[in-house]
């Protein structure tokens, strides 16, 4: 009997040791807390990669250096998974102290209860809301409460390779493209590029599906006077079919006329390596091009192809997600960080973004940077989406899906526009 007890004891011990071995490593809880030596450690989740990521790292390093009491720890998440991970983590109490949100995504995060309102902590930290670009700021205010600190605008613009344009005789004396700002003018411009440049050069380095084509389509649709795709009360699909179709048709022709390399897996690389004459994407590419040796490029607003100047754009904001403890000191440190980032918009602008504080745009450091001033004006003509909680779902589940078929030449623009409307409504009704 005694023997048996000893054996069982050993067994239980062994089993529990095994269990603790298997969970022992699990104590890597990322929360540093504000425990020792009065230093506040804040976890910060971002969705920035590439040039954006490096600039944000530099900003954080600078902030940590100049603010000895606060330490920001950056976790970079994959862009496509960022919001799912953020909502999930906040939902189970493992969210970060600071996060990033696009303005277009903010209404959804507010409704989900992911973000906290900022007015009291902003007062405590002495944030001057009036120092922000009011257009950007307004998009972050819901029912009179502030929910986010905008740090930039990032519109959709056009880049061009100066050397290739020169070869094609399309670069003016002033170093700007010779391009008539009209529907025919842009096509003529591309045709000339196609004719004059070698066959292995793509006139228009462009994505073949998803985001950038959507952004161009949105830009053209709004240039035609289209006013978002949902009604002002955010409950109904309200797509101007004729305009949406016209914009899609125009773009489908660009694809089918061979101006764009078919299914280009790496359109950034195409432009970067000098194999594409022009390219369109968000301003965040500026920093990448600048750091590319031997790439002589220029930046400009996208051409006014239709009736009025307009372009797709969005804005990055800093948010304070809901956390378990709602530690006031942490929150104050977090909002101090956010305001500091906005103050130092000229550094963030190195990635290509347009700062959210007019004072940052006025700084000599910003003015001394090339390219930015060529497109800083776009900020005024950006057409943001309406503050719907469904913006991203509408785009991902309904609009992009059908437009991709149009770009691939598998669907008529009119059919795609007709098909996407009930799907948008379905998303809105959910």
Partner 1 sequence: MKWMIRLVSMLLALVFVFPLIWMLVVSVKREGMGVTSLLDWFTPPYSLDVYGEVITQTKLTHWIWNSFFVAVCVMILTVLISAMASYAMSKIKFRFKTFMFFFILAGLLIPGEATLIPLYQVAKDVDILNSYEGLIFPVLASPFAIIILKSFFDGVPNDLIESVQIDGGGIWRVFFSIMLPLTRPALASIAILTFIGSWNNFLWPFLSVTDDNLFTLPVGIPTLMDQYTEDYVKPMVINTIASIPIIALFLIFERQIVKGISMSGIKG
Partner 2 sequence: MQALIFLLPFLFIYVLFTIWPMIKGVEMSFYKWTLIRKIEYVGLQNYANMLQDSAFWSSVWHSFLFVVLTTPTMIVLAIILALVANRKSRLQKFYRSVFFLPSVLSVAVASYLGLFIFQPYTGLLNSLLHLIGLLPGNEEIFWLSETSLAWIAITLLTLWWTVGFNFILYLSAMQDIPEDIYEAARLDGASDSQIFWQITLPMLGGITRTITMLQIIASFKVFVQIYIMTGGGPLDSTRPVIQYIWQIGFRQNDLGYAAALSYMLFAILLVLSAFQYWLNNRKGE
From candidates 73, 85, 163, 363, binder to partner 1 by CB under 8 A: 85
Report strand pairing: 99-102 vs 202-205.
unpaired
CA dist 389 and 378 (Å) reads 25
Q: Is the Cβ of residue 69 or residue 88 nearer to partner 1 in the bound state?
A: 88
Residue 325 touches which of partner 1, partner 2, none (Cβ within 5-8 Å per kind): none
Residue 77 binding partner 1, by CB under 8 A: yes
Which x/- pattern over 8-27 shows residues binding partner 1 (rule: CB under 8 A)? x--x---x--xx-xxx-xx-
Closest CA to 212 of 162, 283, 160, 303: 283
Residue 22 contact, options partner 2, partner 1, none, Cβ 5-8 Å cut-off depending on partner type: partner 1
In angstroms, give the least distance from the CB of 350 to partner 1: 21
Q: Does 284 bind partner 1 (CB under 8 A)?
A: no
Question: How near is the Cβ of 87 to partner 2 at its closest, in Å?
Answer: 5
Q: Do the bridges between strand 297-301 and strand 149-150 make them parallel or antiparallel, or are there none, so unpaired?
A: unpaired
324 C-beta neighbours (distance < 10 Å), count:
10
Three-state SS letters, the chain: CHHHHHHHHHHHHHHHHHHHHHHHHHHCCCCCCCCHHHCEEEEEEECCCHHHHHHHHHHHHHHHHHCCCEEEEEEECCHHHHHHHHHHHHHCCCCCCEEEEEHHHHHHHHHHCCECCCHHHHHHHCCCHHHCCHHHHHCCEECCEECCEECEEEEEEEEEEHHHHHHCCCECCCCCECCCCCHHHHHHHHHHHHHHCCCCCEEEECCCCCHHHHHHHHHHHHHCCCCCCECCCCCCECCCHHHHHHHHHHHHHHHHCCCCCCCCCCHHHHHHCCCEEEEEEECCHHHHHHCCCCCCEEEEECCCCCCCCCEEEECEEEECECCCCCCHHHHHHHHHHHHHHHHCHHHHHHHCCEECCHHHHHCHHHHCCCCHHHHHHHHHCEECCCCCCCHHHHHHHHHHHHHHHHHCCCCCHHHHHHHHHHHHHHHHHC
Nearest residue to 321 (alpha-carbon basis) of 333, 331, 309: 331
401 touches partner 2 (CB under 8 A): yes
Shortest distance, CB of residue 169 to partner 2, whole angstroms?
26
Choose one: 107-115, 259-267, 305-313, 395-403; the region binding partner 1 (CB under 8 A).
Answer: 259-267
- The CB-of-405 to partner 2 minimum distance in angstroms stands at 6
The Cα 282–Cα 312 span in angstroms is 9
Q: Does 75 bind partner 2 (CB under 8 A)?
A: no
* Residue 150 C-beta: closest distance to partner 1, Å: 25
Nearest distance from residue 115's CB to partner 2, in Å? 12
88 to 117: interface string for partner 2, x by CB under 8 A: x-xx--------------------xxx---
Residue count, binding to partner 1 (CB under 8 A): 32
Nearer to partner 1, 236 or 269 (CB): 269
Q: Between 88 and 308, whose beta carbon lies closer to partner 2? A: 88
Q: Which does 26 bind (CB under 5 to 8 A by kind): partner 2, partner 1, none?
A: partner 1
Specify the stretch interacting with partner 2 by CB under 8 A; choose among 148-156, 258-266, 302-310, 324-332. 258-266
Which of 184, 181, 201, 185 has the alpha carbon at shortest distance from 193?
201
Q: Which is nearer to partner 2, 90 or 127 (CB)?
A: 90
What residues between 304 and 363 interact with partner 1 by CB under 8 A? none
Residue window 6-45: x/- pattern of binding to partner 2, with contact defined by CB under 8 A: ---------x------------------------------
Q: With CB under 8 A as the contact rule, which of the stretches 131-139, 261-269, 287-295, 357-365 interacts with partner 2?
A: 261-269
Q: How near is the Cβ of 80 to partner 1 at its closest, in Å?
A: 9
Please list every residue from 182 through 221 that binds partner 1, using CB under 8 A.
none
**Contact status, residue 181 vs residue 305, Cβ threshold 8 Å:** yes
Contacts to partner 2 from residues 406-425, by CB under 8 A? 408, 410
Residues of this chain that bind partner 2 (CB under 8 A): 15, 84, 87-88, 90-91, 112-114, 208-209, 262-265, 393, 396-397, 401-402, 404-405, 408, 410, 430
Residues of this chain that bind partner 1 (CB under 8 A): 3-4, 7-8, 11, 15, 18-19, 21-23, 25-26, 28, 30, 75, 77-78, 81, 85, 88-89, 91-94, 265-269, 273
């Amino acid at each position: 009997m005694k023997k048996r007890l000893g054996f069982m004891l050993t067994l239980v011990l062994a089993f529990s040791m095994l269990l603790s071995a298997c969970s022992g490593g699990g104590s890597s809880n990322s929360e540093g807390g504000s425990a020792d030596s009065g230093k506040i450690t804040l976890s910060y989740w971002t969705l920035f990669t590439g040039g954006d990521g490096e600039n944000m790292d530099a900003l954080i390093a600078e902030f940590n250096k100049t603010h000895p009491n606060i330490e920001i720890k950056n976790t970079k998440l994959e862009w496509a998974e960022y919001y799912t991970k953020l909502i999930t983590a906040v939902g189970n109490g493992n969210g970060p102290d600071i996060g990033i949100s696009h303005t277009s995504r903010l209404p959804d995060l507010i409704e989900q209860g992911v973000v906290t309102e900022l007015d009291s902590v902003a007062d405590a930290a002495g944030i001057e809301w009036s120092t922000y670009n009011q257009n950007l700021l307004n998009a972050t205010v819901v029912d009179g409460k502030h929910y986010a600190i905008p740090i930039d605008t990032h519109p959709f613009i056009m880049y061009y390779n100066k050397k290739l344009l020169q070869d094609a005789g399309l670069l003016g004396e002033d170093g700007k493209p010779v391009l008539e700002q009209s529907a025919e003018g842009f096509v003529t411009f591309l045709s000339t590029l196609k004719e004059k440049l070698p066959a292995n050069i793509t006139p228009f380095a462009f994505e073949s599906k998803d985001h950038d084509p959507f952004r161009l389509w949105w830009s053209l649709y709004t240039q035609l006077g289209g006013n978002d795709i949902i009604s002002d009360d955010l409950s109904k699909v309200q797509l101007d079919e004729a305009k949406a179709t016209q914009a899609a048709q125009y773009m489908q022709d660009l694809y089918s006329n061979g101006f764009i390399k078919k299914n280009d897996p790496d359109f950034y690389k195409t432009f970067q390596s000098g194999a594409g004459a022009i390219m369109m994407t968000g301003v965040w590419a500026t920093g990448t091009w600048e750091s590319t040796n031997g790439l002589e490029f220029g930046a400009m607003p996208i051409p006014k192809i239709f009736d009025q100047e307009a372009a797709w754009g969005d804005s990055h904001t800093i948010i304070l997600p809901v956390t378990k403890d709602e530690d006031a000191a942490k929150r104050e440190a977090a909002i101090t960080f956010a305001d500091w980032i906005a103050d130092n918009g000229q550094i963030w602008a190195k990635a290509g973004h347009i700062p959210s504080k007019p004072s940052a745009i006025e700084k000599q450091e910003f003015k001394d940077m090339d390219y930015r001033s060529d497109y800083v004006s776009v900020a005024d003509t950006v057409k943001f989406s309406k503050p719907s909680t469904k913006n991203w779902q509408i785009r991902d589940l309904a609009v992009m899906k059908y437009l991709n078929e149009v770009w691939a030449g598998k669907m008529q623009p009119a059919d795609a526009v007709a098909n996407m409307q009930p799907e948008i409504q379905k998303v809105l009704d959910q």
